[in-house]
Amino acid sequence: MNALLVVAHGSRRQQSNDEVFQIADKLRVSCHDDYSIVHSGFLELASPSIPDGIEQCINDGATHITVLPYFLNSGRHVVEDVPDIVKTVSQQHPGVDIVIAPHLGASPLMVDLLINSAKSVPRPHIA
C-alpha cells in the first residue's frame, strides 16, 4: 500500500500546524485511489515527529511511502535534515520503500498557483 507523508517544519503557532493537517485531510480525499494512507510529520515544534509519522504509515500497512516536503525553498531542512531523518528511519524498516518528493518551490505548477492566487483578488483594469 502506498502512503503520503506531508512533512512540514512545525510551528509554535497551532493554527499553522493545523493548516498542515488540513492539507493532509484534503490529500486523503483527493488521491485516495493512488495513496490509501496519508499522514503528517513535523521536523520540530509540533507532533507527530517525522519518525512517528513514518511509523503511523507503516502501522497502517504502508509498503511504500512518499515523503512530501511542505517547504518552499531548498534550504538546509530540505537538503539535509529531512533526508537524514528519513534515512535513519528507513534503515529500521528495510521492507518499506521510502522516497522523498521535491520541495514545493521546485514544482512546475508553482507559477500557475501564484497566477491563480493573484487573479483571485480584484484588479481594476488589465495592463
- Of the candidate spans 46-54, 70-78, 86-94, the one that interacts with a copy of itself by CB under 8 A turns out to be 70-78
Residue of the chain from 43, 68, 82, 89 that contacts a copy of itself (CB under 8 A):
68
Shortest Å distance, C-beta 38 to a copy of itself: 10
Question: Taking Cα atoms as reference points, which of 68, 83, 38, 34 lies closest to residue 56?
Answer: 38
Query: Strands of 64-69's sheet, edge to edge?
Result: 37-42, 2-8, 64-69, 97-100
- Residues 9 and 71: beta-carbon distance below 8 Å: yes
The closest of 43, 32, 37, 36 to 10, measured between CA atoms, is 43
User: Within 10 A of 39 (CB to CB), how many other CB atoms are there?
Assistant: 24
Give the footprint of a copy of itself on residues 71-100 (CB under 8 A). 71-76, 97, 99-100
21 binds a copy of itself (CB under 8 A): no
Number of residues lying near a copy of itself (CB under 8 A): 60
Determine the length of the chain.
Answer: 127
State the residues that interact with a copy of itself by CB under 8 A.
1-2, 4, 6, 8, 11, 13, 15-16, 19-20, 23, 26-27, 30-31, 33-37, 64, 66, 68, 70-76, 97, 99-102, 104-127
